[in-house]
Chain A
Amino acid sequence: MGIAQTQKVEEDLHVLLPNNPFVPPKGDVCFINNLPPELLSRIFEAGSAGDNEDEDDMVGDWLNNLRYCLDTRDLGFR
Chain B
Amino acid sequence: MNEELEDEDEDEDEADTDDEADSDATGSSDFDSPWPPFPIVVSHVCRHWRNIAFSTPSLWTTITVPPEERPPYEFAMTLLERSRGLPIDIYIDCEPHEHDCDVEPPSDADLKFLLSLLIPHIHRWRTMELSVSEYHHMYVFLSAVSDPSTPTAPQLETLELYHHEEMEEFDSFGYHSMSKHFTLFGGSAPSLTRLVLWGVHVDWNQPWIASASNVTDLELAFHPEDVRPSWAQFASILRGASALEKLSLRLSGPSGDPPEWFIEPTPGSPADLNAPVQLPRVTDFILAFHSQARAIGLLRKFYLPALKNLVLDFDDGDYTELVHELAGPATSLSLSSAQEQSRSLLSKLESLKIAGLPCRLECVHTLYGELQNLTSLNLSLSYLPPNFLDILCTPCRLAGRGDIWLPRLATLYVSGTFGEQLRELVQKRRDAGVPLSSLYVEESCEVDKKDMVWLKENLKTFEYFEGSEDEDDVIDFQDLDEGIDEWSDMD
Contacts and interface: CB of A to CB of B under 8 A. Distances in A.
Interface of A: 24, 28-30, 33, 37, 40-41, 44-45, 47-48, 50-52, 55-56, 60, 63-64, 67-68, 71-72
Contacts of A51: 33-34, 37-38
If over half of A's interface residues share one DSSP class (helix, strand or loop), that class is named, otherwise mixed; here it is helix
B243 interface: no
Contact of B52 (A24, A37, A56, A60): A37
A50 B38 contact: yes
Given A51-B33, A51-B38, A68-B456, A44 B52 contact: yes
B480 interface: no
A44 B59 contact: yes
B1 interface: yes
A56 B449 CA distance: 24
Contacts of A37: 52, 55
A73 B465 CA distance: 22
A37 B33 CA distance: 27
Given A41-B52, A41-B55, A64-B463, A48 B37 contact: yes
A37 B42 CA distance: 13
A34 B4 CA distance: 12
Nearest to A42: B56
21 contacts: A28-B2, A29-B3, A33-B4, A33-B48, A37-B55, A40-B49, A41-B52, A44-B53, A45-B59, A47-B38, A48-B37, A48-B38, A51-B38, A52-B33, A55-B34, A60-B463, A60-B464, A64-B463, A67-B452, A71-B449, A71-B453
Interface residues of B, number: 30
Interface of B: 1-4, 32-34, 37-39, 42, 46, 48-49, 52-53, 55-56, 58-59, 62, 443, 449, 452-453, 456, 463-466
Nearest to B46: A33
A44 B3 contact: no
Contacts of A55: 32, 34
A72 B452 CA distance: 9
Contacts of A47: 38, 42
Nearest to A37: B52
Nearest to B62: A52
A51 B60 CA distance: 12
Given A44-B38, A71-B449, A29 B464 contact: no
A27 B206 CA distance: 64
Nearest to A46: B38
Given A30-B4, A52-B33, A63-B464, A44 B452 contact: no
A33 B51 CA distance: 12
5 tightest Cβ-Cβ pairs between the two chains A and B: A30-B1, A71-B449, A41-B56, A48-B38, A47-B38
Contacts of B34: 51, 55
B424 to A, nearest CB: 20
Contacts of A28: 1-3
Given A48-B39, A51-B38, A67-B452, 6 more contacts: A33-B48, A40-B52, A41-B52, A51-B33, A52-B62, A68-B456
A51 to B, nearest CB: 5
A56 B55 CA distance: 31
A71 B449 CA distance: 6
Contacts of B55: 37, 41
Contacts of B53: 44
Contacts of B452: 67-68, 71
A62 B53 CA distance: 31
Contact of A24 (B1, B32, B38, B449): B1
Nearest to A74: B453
B440 to A, nearest CB: 9
Contacts of A68: 452, 456
Nearest to B35: A51
B33 A64 contact: no
Contacts of B48: 33
B52 A72 contact: no
A22 to B, nearest CB: 15
A45 B464 contact: no
A29 B1 contact: yes
Contacts of A40: 49, 52
B90 to A, nearest CB: 14
A24 to B, nearest CB: 7
A60 B37 contact: no
Contacts of B52: 37, 40-41, 44
